[in-house]
Chain A
Amino acid sequence: MIIFIVRRFFQSIVLILAMSLLVFLGVYAIGNPADVLISPEASEAERADIIRHFGLDKPLYAQYGLFLANAAKGDLGRSFKYNEPALGLIIERMPATLEIAFTALFLTILIGIPLGLLCGLKPDATWSKMIMGFSAFGFSVPSFWLGLMMVMVFSVFLGWLPASGRGQTMNLFGIPFSFLTFDGLKHMLLPAINLACFKLSLVIRLTRAGAQEVVRSDYIKYAKAKGLRPARVIFVHMLKNILLPIVTVLGLEFGRTIAFATVTETVFAWPGMGKLLIDSIGVLDRPVIVAYLMMIVVMFIVINLIVDLVYTALDPRVRLEERQ
């Protein structure tokens, strides 16, 4: 087990290094940053100063070396546009993104698992078919379109909910959060539902498939024969056995959620790190793009590592395979 953890850990580090090289080379290929960064009216002296300041006059490998050395110190360069540390900019906007991502995850679990159970236990009922129809729809429809439709219906036509921004925020540990005020909650609802839609469809399907498989097993028949209440059979005996794959998938989905938050944040003008990325791409703010991508890569690798380790801890069959 320890060997497994150590090996997975080293694999992750190698992966992070490889991805950092890819990201760096890729973003370097965008174009000459000196042209983007320096205004055409700048004097020669100003130009030279900026080039020296960002290390743009050094050869590529030296720039990468500089980049790695600085990255290890948590310094991923300064934003061309804001003239602030790029990583700081991202971290500053991270709580906003995490806030809607976690809310979406919460909504997914809260709504998805009961609906999936309903569909799995009564697959032929009309509402089961309706739920599955919704799930198929949520799977295939582009998320940005759903967001637009939500804005159109709930903000423009009905006027119930605001269409953009975070609303009033309240500080918790010095970080502003929207979910602490009523106005903030109103602003959060649409983006969070938008972000949850795809995951919701997925969880409904997974839970349904799990329930259909488990309901035929002997231990459920036995639990029923013992005369246990149906609620206990469903929520204790069945749910425990369905939950493992759902937890795994949701763990892996979390990275996807952060990536897709880019789309949701653009639709709802939610000031998170996804919107920062899109804005930075628009003005070719290279350090911010690199910093965002590095953050995402590290996040993904860490999430995958955690999911792997948790899975190994929870499912003894994986451990056995590893030993052989």
Chain B
Amino acid sequence: MSVPFRERPLGKALAEYVESPSAIIATILVVIFFLAAASASIIAPQDPYDLAKLDLLDGTLPPLSKSFSGMTYILGTDEQGRDMLSAILYGMRISLSVGIISTIAAFILGTSLGLIAAYKGGRFDTLLMRVVDLQLSFPALLIALVLLVVLGQGVDKITLALIIVHWAYFARAARGSALAERNREYIEAARALRLSEARIIFRHLMPNVMPSIIVIATTMVARAISTEATLSFLGIGLPITEPSLGLLISNGFRYLLSGKYWISFYPGIALVVVIVALNMMGDRLRDVLNPRLKR
């Protein structure tokens, strides 16, 4: 293992990735949002869900107004006198964790099933792909909506619904790349060595299909966050006790029509910046990792 890092595949991909300024900006933004959300309880000016700290007299104040106690509400307050900046930080935490946890679970489930289907072939493969095709012919939003109608509201339920919706994308992509890899020499060599099937699938096949799956995972986090926000906006995603960004936007919608834009506007901006930044990262990763695009 004396090959220098910059010449190993990961190092090369990384070096190519940072060549794009927009990808760097997007990555920095995502990291900032992630850190801000993770440390929301430390950096937020106010605990937005401690009712004792809220003052109804401070309700629907525009951005940069001062409260009676001398605190400045940088992004204004909502109808209950809640500091919007704090609410956004806490909401971001819920949105990001739902997006990331559901994507990781869908990733593990979908990739494993896709790899096994590609390696084994036969009836399991046919059946799995039928299910995948059937599921992908309906829009993700509609399936998630139906699932939530059945499951009810809650962070755990929306995470489960997003896993069920998104695993099929991973399964299809993993199977597609694995089919191309299955007949390569290194798999044949591993078979000749009499390695166990599980070992061949997860130690030999999996690392080689990873690049295309990672690209999908990045965009799936963005999609999961977007779908969760949409469902919460429709009032069937998260309950009022777990206010994600989508729910904050939905709460502010009533006030938007009377010109009090900030209750909806700033959570919306935070949501859109995260989603667009994640998609830009995904686009760059696809350019770097997809061998078909390199000419």
Chain A residues with a Cβ under 8 A of chain B: 15, 23, 26-27, 29-30, 136-137, 139-145, 148-149, 151-152, 155-157, 163, 255-256, 259-260, 262-263, 266-267, 278, 281-282, 289, 293, 296, 300, 304
Q: Which 5 A-B pairs have the closest CB atoms?
A: A140-B279, A259-B142, A26-B150, A142-B226, A259-B139
In the assembled complex, the CB of A204 is this many whole angstroms from the nearest CB of chain B, namely 16
Q: Is the CB of A151 within 8 A of B257?
A: yes
Shortest Cβ distance from B277 into A: residue: A140
8 Å CB contact of A263 from B134, B138, B234, B265: B234
Q: Is the CB of A140 within 8 A of B222?
A: yes
Q: Is the CB of B146 within 8 A of A293?
A: yes
Most chain A beta-carbon contacts within 10 A, residue among B137, B142, B226, B259: B142
Q: Is the CB of A143 within 8 A of B230?
A: yes
Shortest Cβ distance from A296 into B: residue: B142
Set of chain B residues within 8 Å of A293, measured between Cβ atoms: 146
Q: Is the CB of A163 within 8 A of B257?
A: yes
Set of chain B residues within 8 Å of A300, measured between Cβ atoms: 137-138
Q: Is the CB of B256 within 8 A of A148?
A: yes
State the main secondary structure of chain B at its contact with A. Answer: helix
In the assembled complex, the CB of B120 is this many whole angstroms from the nearest CB of chain A, namely 25
B60 at the interface (CB under 8 A from A): no
8 Å CB contact of B268 from A27, A145, A304: A145
What are 11 of the A-B contact pairs (CB < 8 Å)? Answer: A23-B146, A141-B276, A142-B271, A145-B229, A148-B268, A151-B257, A152-B264, A259-B138, A259-B139, A263-B233, A266-B234
Given A142-B230, A278-B234, A259-B141 contact (CB < 8 Å): yes
* Bound CA–CA A149/B134 (angstroms): 34
Chain B residues with a Cβ under 8 A of chain A: 134, 137-139, 141-142, 145-147, 149-150, 152, 222, 226, 229-230, 233-236, 249, 253, 256-257, 259, 261, 264-265, 268, 271-272, 275-276, 279, 283
* Bound CA–CA A149/B264 (angstroms): 9
8 Å CB contact of A136 from B235, B261, B279: B279
Most chain A beta-carbon contacts within 10 A, residue among B147, B276, B283: B276
* Bound CA–CA A278/B230 (angstroms): 12
8 Å CB contact of A26 from B146, B257, B259: B146
Q: Is the CB of A289 within 8 A of B149?
A: yes
Q: Is the CB of B137 within 8 A of A304?
A: yes
* Bound CA–CA A316/B67 (angstroms): 71
Q: Is the CB of A144 within 8 A of B230?
A: yes
Q: Is the CB of B268 within 8 A of A30?
A: no
Given A142-B272, A152-B265, A282-B235 contact (CB < 8 Å): yes
In the assembled complex, the CB of B196 is this many whole angstroms from the nearest CB of chain A, namely 36
Set of chain B residues within 8 Å of A140, measured between Cβ atoms: 222, 226, 275-276, 279
Q: Is the CB of A256 within 8 A of B139?
A: yes
**10 other A-B residue contacts (CB within 8 Å) besides A145-B272, A151-B257:** A140-B226, A144-B229, A148-B253, A148-B256, A156-B256, A156-B261, A289-B149, A296-B142, A300-B137, A304-B137
Q: Is the CB of B149 within 8 A of A27?
A: yes
* Bound CA–CA A109/B33 (angstroms): 37
Set of chain A residues within 8 Å of B272, measured between Cβ atoms: 141-142, 145
* Bound CA–CA A269/B77 (angstroms): 26
